[in-house]
Structure 1
Amino acid sequence: MVVMIDRITQGIKELEIEEIQTLVQRALDSGHTADKILDAIRKGADEVGRFFEEGTYFISDLVMAGQIMKTALEILQPHLKAGGESQGKIVLGTIEGDIHDIGKQIVKTFMASAGFEVHDLGVDVPAKKFAEAAKDINADIVAVSVLFSVAALNLESVVEEIRTAGLREKVKVIAGGAAARQEYINRFGVDAAVNDAITGMDKIRSWMAEKR
């Protein structure tokens, strides 16, 4: 039984997309708890992140890893206990003026596998909607996907709407995607700007650790 759990971690780490459905289902059928399987998925995601940081894996590998974890989580979701310990609440969306969804979906999968509650607003999201959602769910993080430099100009409005809603002191804002630049921290007032899911997750985890 231990071997089966280890195989799930290995399957994600080695990007075995055709194997993951069978592995997760077999683990469930063998009596492993959903929480234990989720932990194996998280470990696999951590290994993928390590390979990416070392330069062994590339963006295309992150895309594949995201799809593998999404598949695993879809099988696992009905078996996860409601009300389990959450690592934090995140509002996620692609900024107004941008309709790209793939990168956001990859990030969403990494967030969910790490135990975060993710409220996905979709694409082409107005600044005010980010703030409203953050207030509604009592979010810890607002994560904004930006693929176009022109659309990134709307980041300032996102930060301002969050401030107007009285949430700026408690809500961190992270911009992620191909158009994210470090200069946006000073220029638009975001708390972080990253170009990949792994770096983004590291930043989010560090923020949540500070909160605790």
Structure 2
Amino acid sequence: MDELTRAVVQLEENQVIEIVRRELKKGTPVEDIVERCRQGMEAVGEKFSQGEYYLPDLIMAGEIFNSILEVLRPIMAEAKTRKLGKIVLATVKNDIHDIGKNVFKGFAEANGFVVHDLGVDVDPELIVSTIKEEKPEIVGLSCLLTSAFDSIKDTIERIKQAGVRNQVKIIIGGAPVSEELKNWSGADAFTRSAAEGVKICKELLES
């Protein structure tokens, strides 16, 4: 396992930040750094699923990833790379989980997307108003709770009712999402992986 990935898995925040800064000085691409951190976050999620890690560990991992993004964000802002497009991102109403959303956000930004993150437990009306204001190409809706599936469908219905559905592509993400949920909710795509999600977003821009 890579040194940076291992430090993320072991929840060693100071060591993680030190390695990230060192990699940046070496000229390591931001995308590579984010990917190695993503692998660490994925391993943390697996340990949580297996009962080796508990909720406080999961929360700490999310905080570490946010700290990584704070270090990387100025570098990404200075990058001369062409902006691919704009994403409005939110964890839907009645769900407060944000680790997966934050990992996706970091990976998307590292790949050249501008991301407007509305946070967690987001009301559909805020998503609609942000679409009208920011005019994104893509809307990303995240959830971890199956009980929030209705919120995904309701949000997409509100987007339709507001007359802006044909202006955006909608991708849903999270561990429990599926092809069936995509079809039932009216989304354009689904993903359970941040890296795959960014790849799909690139494809949606071309469709």
Is TM-score (shorter-chain normalized) higher than 0.5?
yes
Q: How far has the Cα of 1:148 moved from its partner?
A: 2.0
Q: Where does residue 3 of structure 1 map in the other structure?
A: none
Q: Which moved more, 1:159-168 or 1:87-96?
A: 159-168
Q: How far has the Cα of 1:21 moved from its partner?
A: 2.8
Aligned mate of 1:38, from 7, 30, 37: 30
Q: Where does residue 55 of structure 2 map in the other structure?
A: none
Counterpart residue type for residue 192 of structure 1: A
Q: Do the aligned residues in 2 keep the contact of 1:143 with 1:174 (CA within 8 Å)?
A: yes
Aligned mate of 1:73, from 66, 69, 92: 69
Counterpart residue type for residue 147 of structure 2: V
Aligned mate of 1:130, from 107, 110, 127: 127
Q: Where does residue 89 of structure 2 map in the other structure?
A: 92
Return closer, same or farther for 1:146/1:76 CA change in 2, 3 Å cut-off: closer
Q: Which moved more, 1:68-77 or 1:189-198?
A: 68-77
Aligned mate of 1:22, from 12, 15, 18: 18
* Partner Cα separation in structure 2 for residue 70 and residue 15 of structure 1: 17
Paired residues, number: 189
Normalising by structure 2, report the TM-score.
0.72
* Partner Cα separation in structure 1 for residue 200 and residue 132 of structure 2: 22
Q: Where does residue 168 of structure 2 map in the other structure?
A: 171
Q: Where does residue 154 of structure 1 map in the other structure?
A: 151
Q: How far has the Cα of 1:142 moved from its partner?
A: 0.9
SS at match of 2:166: coil
Return closer, same or farther for 1:157/1:101 CA change in 2, 3 Å cut-off: same
Q: Deviations over 1:94-144 (max 9, x none)?
A: 111112222222222222222221111111111122121122111111111
Normalising by structure 1, report the TM-score.
0.70
* Partner Cα separation in structure 1 for residue 174 and residue 31 of structure 2: 27
Return closer, same or farther for 1:29/1:41 CA change in 2, 3 Å cut-off: closer
Return closer, same or farther for 1:26/1:155 CA change in 2, 3 Å cut-off: closer
Q: How far has the Cα of 1:58 moved from its partner?
A: 8.0
SS at match of 2:103: helix
Return closer, same or farther for 1:201/1:22 CA change in 2, 3 Å cut-off: same
* Partner Cα separation in structure 2 for residue 73 and residue 151 of structure 1: 27
Unaligned runs of 5+ in 1: 1-9
Q: Do the aligned residues in 1 keep the contact of 2:107 with 2:194 (CA within 8 Å)?
A: yes
Return closer, same or farther for 1:38/1:174 CA change in 2, 3 Å cut-off: same
